[in-house]
Amino acid sequence: MQDSQVVDLNVGGRHLTTSLSTLTKYPDSMLATMFSGRHPVAKDKDGRYFIDVEGDVFVHILNFLRFGKMPPPERASEVNEYAEYFGLQELKAPVPEDFEQVLYGIWKKELPDYQRHWEKVKEQLGNISTSYFYICTRKSDCGKLPKTDIGALTPGNYYTIELSFDSNVSIFFNLLAVDLKKRNVFTDSCLRECPGCCCRAAMGFRIGR
């Protein structure tokens, strides 16, 4: 076989097409051995090379071989099994818990001032006497809502931690959710934003399960 050769596959009933160079990208892998030309590989009735695994999982193997793309976190566990089976240690994908930490690192780079706000949140956690509370952010240049007018975003008479924050609020609350979970505090409501100008945002949190 030549590296540029197109290879038609039947992977657990799913028909896929790739190149020989993709399948043999990692010389020590089982796939490279299978398609080295030194060993016979079973074919289906239409001449496609047959690989007896789940095609919907194997497609993530191909995407890694083609582009170096890691699988989504919800498929990480089963893709890891295939990576082990095919001898692709390079593809050992982070499981969801680790993937969250990978995202956490990416998010923190997006918000270099996050730590300062997190310190303020930690300072106020000790003041909370109920099991439920809100964290509310406000852009410093917002002029559409008075500072005290947060009822639409924080329904109920709950303790509210207010912060002045001008960056990406979605990333900010994602970071908060990760850090608060380590303190047995969990998100309890979706992110709400001011419908008029998105200058205010709030999310509810619950202490304990």
Tokens for 33?
Answer: 């051995």
Question: What is the tens place of the pLDDT at every residue in 136-162?
Answer: 888 876 655 444 454 555 666 788 898
pLDDT value of position 195: 64
Region of residue 156 (left: phi > 0; alpha: psi -120 to 50; beta: else): left
Which stretch of 137-141, 154-158, 190-194, 203-207 has the lowest confidence by average pLDDT? 154-158
To which H or E segment does residue 81 belong?
helix 76-85
AA letter at 73: P
Name which of 89-93, 119-123, 187-191 the model is least confident about: 89-93
Average pLDDT, the chain: 84
The Cα–Cα gap between 191 and 181 comes to 16
- Token representation of residue 152: 């639409």
State the pTM of this model: 0.51
Ramachandran bin of 48, using left for φ above 0, alpha for ψ from -120 to 50, beta for the remaining angles: beta
200-207 and 185-187 beta bridge pairing? antiparallel
Q: Which residues contact 111 (CB under 8 A, 6 or more apart)?
A: 167, 168, 171, 172, 175
Cβ 197 vs Cβ 142: under 8 Å: yes
- CA-to-CA distance for 109 and 100, rounded, in angstroms? 14
